[in-house]
Structure 1
Amino acid sequence: MSGSAPSTMFREAESLDELIPVQGVGWDHNHGASSFLPPRVFSLVRSSHAVVTRQLAALPPGTPVATAAARLAPLVKLSESREYHEEHPGQSPRVGIDKVLHKLHRKKTIATEAEPAPVPPPKPGMRLSREQTDEVAMCGDWHGPPPSPLFLNIYAEVLLTLTDDPLRGAVSPPLLGSSGIVPVSIISVVPDITHHIADLVVSASVEILLSSPRWEGGAARVLADALRELSRRVVAARCAPVVVKVMIGAPTNRDIVVSELGAFALPASAELPGVNLQVRRGPCACVAVIDRQIAVLTTAAIHDGSGLEMMAQYEGPIVQSLYDTALLAWWGPMVPDLPLLRYPPQYPTIGEAGQYRWPAPNLAGRGVRSVPKLTNEMPGPGIHGPQPNETNWDRTYDVSAAAEAEHVNVLSDPAALNRHLNTGIPVEATDVRRGQAFKPVVLLPPHDPVPMAVVNRTHTTNETDPLTQALLAAARFAERTIFIQVPSFRYKPAVEAILEAIRRGVQVEIYVTLHLDHAHAEDEMYFANTAEAARLMLQAVGGERLRIAWYTGRDQSAPRPERVAHVAIMIVDGQVALQGSSLVGTGPSVNLLIDCGEVCRIWGGALEANQNTGAYGQVEQ
């Protein structure tokens, strides 16, 4: 990737002494007392020194990420700051977050009293003024078109979650708002997404960060083979070993020992002379960052899942935000350090979208070929290997997303489509129409970087995390349409926010999976199951502006319990999307808020084309 303008957030320091700790950063005293954002939050988000990646780069090699994060300690708990109380006598640092919760019609405050006081409902149509949105727009590193008012209203709620904990969003505050491009997405089963990540792995030049809550089965073997192939290529080219960090889900952070590698189908170091592999366990989401240039967010954990999943690939400055998030998830020491830690990339300027590596729209006659994959497991059917349109973990590597699309996006035959979707329990196809082809790989047209914001969740959904605030604010500020697809939808504040949107005249469509309610059975913030939530919603507002549908596989004519969807996406007014590893649930989740009507339109069309939910899944009132 080339370009002439470095990211202003990550300008290469002339010396490591320039990477001073955050204590040396001066606050913006010109930030008015009547401003929407608390002065501390405003200054913190605009401080290039309050970045964990940058702090880690200033420390000796092998320093734990936790040590770098600790250099932000004076800001992590503002409620303990003497300076804060001197500047705001008698004011709790929770004022900002309470403002958010009040605006988003929460039934209870998060005050420390034993009996929380009720909060009056907000006034309809509450939005930020032009002056306030201008203030919020100053809190991001936008490299393309300016953020839309809808995006800024949602982003403002996310910023306010930092009031008493700047690392609540599991990303350094200055990296919360950024920009990027979306060259390719995949809406399909786990094998297709795993193979795409494997393609990125074998193409890496310097370093890789991979994390997944699960690491098992055929998907794990595909990535293990990709590491072997990467090592082979590195050795053949006589290059320095590629540094690879793998994070596997666990309740607590720790390094794994060599004897544990086999349990995750990971190769031993003797098998990887061209790769320097370090593996760690801890809370994490499904994220991949390749050479600090490409990032992937997906719902697909590394396992033999049978559901419909969604993956999006991102490039541009937003990758640095996801890089920072991945470092914070790692938390411990990196041995060796990531080679690019002190060398952030530069990016094209506005109007130079062509400088990014867009997939070619048509490969006919260009001689693009897949690179054969060396493997010794799971042979395909017949002496010539797997046939076209058949799902198999064993597949060749593709040199580009366009080449991948050329041989994957050909599933128009009902029998072939049925085989492709039968990655778990085999289900006989019931929809045998020969209609629009199932196209897992979605290639997006070239575009300048668009506004994005990182909205993460570090634990079980609650109303103080940035992700939940983004979801609730998106519902609150919607004016025309809301589309949501999630595995289950029964989080009461989200249900209430959607009902209020419908009462304002917003059209809402929700796709969910039948009988996929794993947790929160006795949590008062959740309905017992999605079916109950759907019934109550339809009873409350009717079906004129609310449409709920059970996920129906592209090869089915009715919902089936064997066919599930883990897709996690929200599209509001056809302009702003929320995409990532999960929207509501348990455990860490990494997501992006994206401000681009064209991306929303393409994603919406691809989701409709790759499932029959809209055609056959509607829940009757």
Structure 2
Amino acid sequence: MAFPALSYPSPPPLLLLAAAVTTCAAVAIDCFCRRKPWVARAADMPDSISGRVYDLCHAPQSVSALLAEDPALPPADALKRLYSHHAVGVLESAPPKHRRTATPEELDRAASCGSFGDTRPSELFLRVWHDALCALEHDPLAGVVSPPLMGSSGVVPLSIISALPDICRHMSNLIARAEHEVILATNYWKESDASRLITDSLKELSKRAGARGTRAVVKIIYDRGSAKQVLDNHLDVSEAERTAKGVGIPSDKEIPNVDIEVINYHRPVLGTFHAKFMVVDRKIAIVCSNNIQDNDNLEMMTHLEGPIVDSLYDMALLTWHDELKPPLPLVGSPQSKETGTFDSSFLDLATKSQTARTDSVIHTKEGPQPVPEHVAGDPHYDDDLASELTFLQMS
């Protein structure tokens, strides 16, 4: 059977012309901004760590250290105070095959520019680290962190490679267990089961803070492009905007014991904010691949603790850029040298054999009281990391 051909009305020529002109203008502006013709050019990235870069890495101050002294100081002003006298250049890099290989002595110098504790990183890592440091010659913030905090160490008690809900469940547990502050950064936030796991935990955080007679501070940063960002890349998000359909972040009345601030960060035309991380109580950091939205992707999350958290904290402040209102409670109190959040129950679970872990899971699963599933709209939070792992292995 033959079907009649479908025909659609052609768009007006002026509309096509306007669309073409707009597209060309957007591409031209983006190329212009990316090329930065007003910035000095360098022939190539240096192949050794200069005295200038060495001094940057050993400087006593960082953006987070300045905010510890003055919590009302906008991170952008702290950045200018520390690094505005360093000229920024754009590298015209030669192919890697033309670069000189770092010598063992240069790798030793690179190792001394990081804080790696009692361990020495592998040669492969040091070669990558050496080249990353060389990039600071023409931009002290090429690492998106204050140089003294660019190289650090820590522990990874948990990684998740799974569907997005498993990652958001862990994030929501950490938020609910927070005592002072949470910084959450994501590229795309869309009202969904994933976002409801997070917003449910914000309500639980408020409830627990009220029971303790305290308040918690929450900072959320996402990217929802707006024409206003041509003039200001960092836009304050009002309560009406953040509670609107499609976003669904709780109102102040829903979280009375939480001081929440949300900003929308985007660099027009194509400067998408693509980072996805979270810092909780300056003790725990989450780095993940997922946005806060529902999808069918296989995603990955890494849970970090130790000194590396201070580096991610500094990065979060740089990303926030503007004055924090209110300031973060722990901005003057680094927590990285404190005892890790995982306790003996987690260590016991982590060191058990596979058979013992399986027996533990089966015992919990067949207990007199079934373990309820933690889902959006019906949250059931775990007391600690060990409980989370047991539930994950049961599901």
TM-score (norm 2): 0.74
What do residues 386-430 of structure 1 show as CA deviations (whole Å, max 9, x unaligned)?
987x9877442122232122122245xxxxxxxxxxxxxxxxxxx
* Residue 52 (structure 2) pairs with residue 40 (structure 1): yes
Contact 1:247 1:284 in 2 (8 A): no
Give the direction of change, closer, same or farther, for the CA distance of 1:409–1:365 in structure 2 (3 Å limit): closer
TM-superposition CA deviations, 1:202-224 (whole Å, max 9, x none): 00011110011111211111111
1:57: Cα distance to partner?
2.3
Match for 2:64: what amino acid?
T
2:207 aligned with 1:232: yes
**One of 225, 228, 242 as aligned partner of 1:261:** 242
Kindly provide the CA deviation profile for residues 526-576 of structure 1, in whole angstroms up to 9, marking residues without a partner as x: xxxxxxxxxxxxxxxxxxxxxxxxxxxxxxxxxxxxxxxxxxxxxxxxxxx
The answer on whether the counterparts of 2:145 and 2:314 sit within 8 Å (CA) in structure 1 is yes
- CA–CA separation in structure 1 for the residues paired with 2:341 and 2:81: 35
- Give the C-alpha shift of residue 255 in structure 1: 0.6
Q: In structure 2, which of residues 381, 388, 393 is the aligned counterpart of residue 404 of structure 1? A: 388
**Among residues 93, 96, 100, which one is paired with 1:104 in the alignment?**
96
Partners of 2:65 and 2:381 in 1: CA distance: 35
In the other structure, the counterpart of 2:116 is 142
Of the three residues 287, 297, 305, the one matched with 1:315 is 305
Conserved 8 A contact 1:181-1:315: yes
Local SS of the residue matching 1:296? strand
Shift of 1:179: 0.5
> What is the CA–CA distance in structure 1 between the aligned matches of 2:159 and 2:222, rounded to whole Å?
23
- CA offsets, 1:290-347, max 9 Å, x none? 0000000000110001100000000000000000111111111111100111111252
Note the alpha carbon deviations across 1:12-52, whole angstroms, 9 max, x for none.
xxxxxxxxxxxxxxxxxxxxxx9921221111111121x11
Q: Which residue of 1 aligns with 2:196?
A: 221
Contact 1:182 1:314 in 2 (8 A): yes
Select the residue among 258, 268, 277 that pairs with 1:287.
Answer: 277
Q: Which residue of 2 aligns with 1:72?
A: 82
Q: Secondary structure at the match of 2:260?
A: strand
C-alpha displacement of 1:76:
3.9
Does the aligned pair in 2 maintain the 1:291–1:340 contact within 8 Å? Answer: yes
Shift of 1:141: 1.1
Equivalent position to 1:357, from 342, 355, 361:
342
Residue 244 and residue 288 in structure 1: after superposition, are their counterparts in 2 closer, same or farther (change >3 A)? Answer: same
Contact 1:201 1:230 in 2 (8 A): yes
Query: What is the aligned-residue RMSD (CA, Å)?
Result: 3.0
Match of 2:261 among 278, 288, 310: 278
Q: Kindly tell me: are residues 149 and 313 of structure 1, through their superposed partners in 2, closer, same or farther at Cα, counting changes over 3 Å? A: same
Tell me which of 47, 64, 70 is aligned to 1:53.
64
Given that 1:224 and 1:266 are in contact with CA atoms closer than 8 Å, whether structure 2 keeps it comes out as yes
Tell me the amino acid that sits aligned with residue 214 of structure 1: Y
Q: Report deviation, 1:64.
A: 1.9
Ranges in structure 1 where 5+ consecutive residues have no aligned partner: 1-33, 80-93, 106-120, 349-353, 370-383, 412-621
Q: Secondary structure at the match of 1:162?
A: helix
Once the 2 structures are TM-superposed, how far is the Cα of residue 250 of structure 1 from its aligned partner? 3.6
Letter in 1 for 2:243: G
How far did residue 267 of structure 1 move?
0.9
The amino acid across from 1:321 in the alignment is S
Instruction: Specify the alignment match of 1:296 in structure 2.
Output: 286
- CA deviation map 1:110-150 (0-9, x unaligned): xxxxxxxxxxx45xxx6322211111111011123111111
- The change in CA–CA distance for 1:246 and 1:355 in structure 2 (over 3 A counts) is closer
In 1: Cα distance, 2:296 partner to 2:370 partner: 22
Q: Distance in 2 between matches of 1:181 and 1:73?
A: 30
- Report the residue type matching 2:56 in the other structure: L
> What corresponds to 2:269 in structure 1?
none
**Alpha carbons 2:283, 2:340 under 8 Å: kept:** no
Seq. identity, %: 34
The structure-2 alpha-carbon separation of the partners of 1:280 and 1:301, relative to structure 1 and needing over 3 Å to count, comes to same
Distance in 2 separating the partners of 1:206 and 1:152 = 36
The 2-side partners of 1:179 and 1:202 are apart by 26
Any conservation in 1 of the 2:47–2:102 contact (CA below 8 Å)? no
Q: Distance in 2 between matches of 1:242 and 1:197?
A: 16
Answer whether contact 2:115 2:152 (CA < 8 A) is retained.
yes
Indicate whether 1:194 and 2:168 are aligned. yes
CA distance in 1, matches of 2:102, 2:66: 34
- Per the alignment, in what secondary structure is the counterpart of residue 396 of structure 1? coil
Q: Which amino acid aligns with 2:262?
A: V
**Are the structure 2 counterparts of residues 355 and 272 from structure 1 closer, same or farther at C-alpha, using a change threshold of 3 Å?**
closer
Distance in 1 separating the partners of 2:381 and 2:387: 10
Instruction: Decide whether the 8 Å contact of 2:59 with 2:148 is kept in 1.
Output: yes
TM-score by length of 1: 0.48
> Number of aligned pairs?
319
Change in CA separation of 1:385 and 1:257 when aligned onto 2, cut-off 3 Å? farther
Q: Look up the equivalent residue of 2:380 and give its one-letter code.
A: T
Q: Check 1:135–1:261 CA distance in 2 against 1; reply closer, same or farther (3 A cut).
A: same
1:355 Cα offset (Å) = 5.9
Partner residue, 1:209 = 183
Q: Match of 2:257, as an amino acid? A: G
Q: What secondary structure sits across from 1:334 in the alignment?
A: coil
Q: How many Å separate the matches in 2 of 1:207 and 1:221?
A: 19
Higher mean C-alpha displacement, 393-402 vs 289-298? 393-402
Give the aligned partner of residue 139 of structure 2: 165
Q: Secondary structure at the match of 1:399?
A: coil
Q: Secondary structure at the match of 2:116?
A: coil
Higher relative CO (Cα under 8 Å, sequence separation at least 6) belongs to: 2
Give the C-alpha shift of residue 102 in structure 1: 3.7
Question: Residues 361 and 307 from structure 1, CA distance in 2 versus in 1: closer, same or farther, beyond 3 angstroms?
Answer: farther
User: Which segment is superposed worse, 393-402 or 321-330?
Assistant: 393-402
Q: Which amino acid aligns with 2:294?
A: D
Change (3 A) 1:280 1:387: same
SS in 1 for 2:119: coil
- Whether the 8 Å contact between 1:35 and 1:132 is mirrored in structure 2 is no
Aligned ranges 1:17-28 → 2 under 5 Å: none
Equivalent of 2:151 in 164, 177, 181? 177
Question: How far apart are the structure 1 equivalents of 2:376 and 2:84?
Answer: 52
How far is the alpha carbon of 1:180 from its aligned partner? 0.5
State the AA in 2 paired with 1:286: K
CA contact (8 A) 2:197 2:376 kept: no
